[in-house]
């Protein structure tokens, strides 16, 4: 098992290229199950979660190959299988996105019911409700979602839940609706750029979708979809993570190959905190000129501030002047990083879905344990400025969603290395 060893280093400087978005490529790979033809994807990141998805696809009769230029090609060799097994689904919840496509094209799906995760229960009731509305018969048996349908039928569906819209739920219902008979109207659809990217991929396959990017999607079902080729959108969360790295170290960092319009709420928050932000067509540059200021952050569905950058911003606020409040409206229990940041001498008090962050201006290095993907990214960021050395253990979490993070940070001047951790896991 590896760990990342991070030491306090110089202000980070330079340019860092952003990879393709994990949360776009995973449902897009699932969407390739909607056709018997090959699809090609450019810009797919080489991540642990992508490898898990490729294993799942192979098990579903769709092996994939990467060429030397990083282009990923799918090939359909068997459309009789319809099971997503427990051992893969339990390691990656995004596996649930094969449910809609399998049902729509193969008429049945057997997908292991995803469990909770470290940041609380993560139900899939809205996925099931949406697919049932399209006419699927769905039972839960022996820990599996068993779904059947001869031909799905278009319907009007409201997908909002107690915490707002659902990203993978929208993906599942949208994918299923593309092959349904007649028109579907999905109200309360998630508007995340990754859902938009999926919808554009589906249109490339011949799907008829209107309202892309809005909470109201109109889908006119078609009989068949065909293969297509697509370039995955850049990862706004990876970009945001490197921008925080630039800001906390008092550096000058430019992320390239990014769409600034997907980070509007985040860039506004950087400016409020006193970070200088410049944006161009496909780059964002941050520089810190003065002290960091306290702020209030509330996570919300897109275009609000993303929950996937909450932990990283908590590190930034720990270094700011004054008291900040972070409110988590998507996953009220997503605060696993707080206890580890306390070990690094941050002053944070958790009260229900809020964290009160008392900025102290400094952190102290410590051995810390990654508990989930974004929490581990936050701990690496904290290590960049903490006095002394920080060992971030259980690095496999970070490899799920960041491509070569230590190489990208080193190129900006960070003192970071990957080492074997004999004390693993
Ligand atoms: N929810 C329900 N019922 C459902 C589905 C969701 O009540 O059937 C609730 C959830 O419990 C949560 C809220 O709705 O409170 C939003 O959850 P959502 O379904 O949107 O989350 P997700 O689709 O499972 C995706 C990302 C997450 C990201 C969230 C929120 C993928 C593969 N995952 O998860 O990404 O945090 O949307 O934006 O797209 C990450 O990359 O680290 C990550 C966790």
**Residue range 210-262, pLDDT digits in tens:** 999 999 999 999 999 999 999 999 999 999 999 999 999 999 999 999 999 99
Q: Is residue 298 pLDDT above 80, yes or no?
A: yes
- Range 348-367 average pLDDT: 96
Q: Ligand 1 centre from 159 Cα, in Å?
A: 13
CA atoms of 101 and 172, how far apart (whole Å)? 7
Query: Over pLDDT 90: what percentage of the chain?
Result: 93
| Residue 123 beta carbon below 6 angstroms from any ligand 1 atom | yes
| Residue 172 beta carbon below 6 angstroms from any ligand 1 atom | no
Find, among 132, 94, 96, 128, the residue nearest to 112 by Cα.
Answer: 96
For residues 193 and 101, state if they share a domain: yes
Q: Ligand 1 centre from 403 Cα, in Å?
A: 21
For residues 198 and 253, state if they share a domain: no
Decide the pairing of beta strands 208-210 and 216-220: antiparallel
* Top-confidence residue, 107 or 395: 107
Range of the domain at 38: 22-231
For residues 132 and 90, state if they share a domain: yes
281: Cβ–Cβ under 8 A, 6 or more apart, which residues?
none
With cut-offs at 50, 70 and 90, classify the pLDDT of residue 408.
very high
| Residue 329 beta carbon below 6 angstroms from any ligand 1 atom | no
With cut-offs at 50, 70 and 90, classify the pLDDT of residue 422.
confident
Q: Could you tell me the two tokens for 222?
A: 């078609």
Query: Does residue 344 lie within any of the structural domains?
Result: yes
> Of 231, 266, 301, at which residue does a domain stop?
231
The residue whose two tokens read 């809609």 is: 100
Q: Is 117 a catalytic residue?
A: yes
Question: Which residues face 347 on adjacent strands?
Answer: 358
User: What pLDDT does 104 receive?
Assistant: 98
Query: Does residue 425 lie within any of the structural domains?
Result: no
Find, among 195, 225, 407, the residue nearest to 302 by Cα.
Answer: 195
Q: Of ligand 1's atoms, which has the minimum distance to the CA of residue 194? A: 39
Question: Which residues face 387 on adjacent strands?
Answer: 364
Q: Ligand 1 centre from 129 Cα, in Å?
A: 16
Q: Ligand 1 centre from 12 Cα, in Å?
A: 32
pLDDT tens by residue, 165-180:
999 999 999 999 999 9
For residues 264 and 298, state if they share a domain: yes
| Residue 330 beta carbon below 6 angstroms from any ligand 1 atom | yes
Q: Is residue 119 pLDDT above 80, yes or no?
A: no
Q: Ligand 1 centre from 385 Cα, in Å?
A: 30
For atom 35 of ligand 1, the residue with the nearest CA is 308
For atom 5 of ligand 1, the residue with the nearest CA is 124
For residues 271 and 160, state if they share a domain: no
Mean pLDDT for the chain? Answer: 96
Mutation pick for ligand 1 pocket among 25, 30, 166, 265 (CB with most ligand atoms within 8 Å):
166
For residues 295 and 416, state if they share a domain: yes
Decide the pairing of beta strands 296-299 and 323-328: parallel
| Residue 331 beta carbon below 6 angstroms from any ligand 1 atom | yes
> Of 199, 231, 263, at which residue does a domain stop?
231
CA atoms of 207 and 412, how far apart (whole Å)? 42
* CATH code of the domain containing 365: 3.65.10.10
Domain count, the chain: 2
With cut-offs at 50, 70 and 90, classify the pLDDT of residue 425.
low
For residues 144 and 247, state if they share a domain: no
Query: Does residue 295 lie within any of the structural domains?
Result: yes
pLDDT tens by residue, 17-36:
999 999 999 999 999 999 99
For residues 366 and 253, state if they share a domain: yes
Radius of gyration of the chain (CA): 21
For residues 208 and 285, state if they share a domain: no
| Residue 168 beta carbon below 6 angstroms from any ligand 1 atom | yes
For atom 39 of ligand 1, the residue with the nearest CA is 23
Helix (H/G/I), strand (E/B), else coil: 111: strand
> Of 197, 231, 265, at which residue does a domain stop?
231
CA atoms of 409 and 6, how far apart (whole Å)? 10
Query: Does residue 414 lie within any of the structural domains?
Result: yes
Query: Does residue 362 lie within any of the structural domains?
Result: yes
Q: How many CA atoms lie within 13 A of 218 on its CB side?
A: 2
């Amino acid at each position: 098992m590896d760990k990342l060893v991070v030491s306090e280093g110089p202000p980070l400087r330079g340019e860092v290229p952003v990879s393709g978005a994990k949360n776009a490529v995973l449902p897009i790979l699932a969407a390739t199950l909607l056709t018997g033809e090959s699809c090609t994807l450019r810009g797919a990141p080489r991540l642990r979660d992508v490898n898990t998805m490729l294993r799942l696809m192979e098990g579903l009769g769709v092996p994939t190959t990467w060429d030397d230029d990083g282009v990923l090609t799918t090939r359909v060799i068997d459309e009789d299988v319809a099971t997503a097994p427990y051992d893969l689904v339990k390691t990656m919840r995004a596996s649930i996105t094969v449910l809609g496509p399998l049902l729509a094209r193969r008429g049945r799906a057997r997908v292991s019911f995803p469990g909770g995760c470290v940041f609380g229960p993560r139900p899939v009731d809205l996925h099931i409700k949406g697919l049932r509305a399209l006419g699927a018969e769905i039972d839960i048996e022996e820990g599996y979602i068993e779904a059947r349908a001869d031909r799905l039928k278009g319907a009007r569906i409201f997908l909002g839940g107690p915490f707002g819209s659902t990203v993978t739920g929208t993906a599942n219902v949208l994918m299923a609706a593309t092959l349904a008979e007649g028109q579907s109207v999905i109200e309360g659809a998630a508007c995340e750029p990754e859902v938009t990217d999926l919808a554009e991929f589906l249109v490339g396959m011949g799907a008829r979708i209107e309202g892309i990017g809005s909470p109201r999607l109109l889908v006119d079902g078609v009989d068949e979809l065909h293969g297509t080729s697509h370039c995955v959108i850049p990862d706004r969360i990876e970009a945001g993570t490197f921008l925080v790295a630039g800001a906390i170290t008092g550096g000058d960092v430019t992320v390239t190959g990014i769409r600034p319009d997907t980070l509007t709420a985040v860039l506004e928050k950087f400016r409020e905190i006193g970070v200088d932000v410049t944006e161009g067509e496909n780059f964002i540059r941050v520089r810190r000129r003065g002290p960091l200021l306290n702020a209030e952050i509330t996570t919300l569905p897109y275009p609000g501030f993303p929950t996937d950058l909450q932990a990283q911003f908590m590190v930034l606020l720990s270094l700011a002047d004054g008291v900040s409040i972070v409110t988590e409206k998507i996953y009220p229990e997503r605060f696993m990083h707080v206890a580890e940041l306390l070990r690094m001498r941050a002053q944070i008090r958790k009260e229900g879905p809020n964290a009160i962050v008392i900025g102290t201006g400094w952190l102290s290095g410590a051995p810390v344990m990654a508990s989930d993907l974004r929490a581990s990214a936050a701990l690496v960021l904290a290590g960049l400025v903490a006095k002394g050395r920080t060992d971030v253990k259980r690095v496999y979490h970070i490899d799920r969603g960041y491509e070569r993070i230590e190489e990208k940070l080193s190129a900006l001047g960070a003192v970071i290395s990957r080492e074997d951790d004999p004390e693993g896991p």
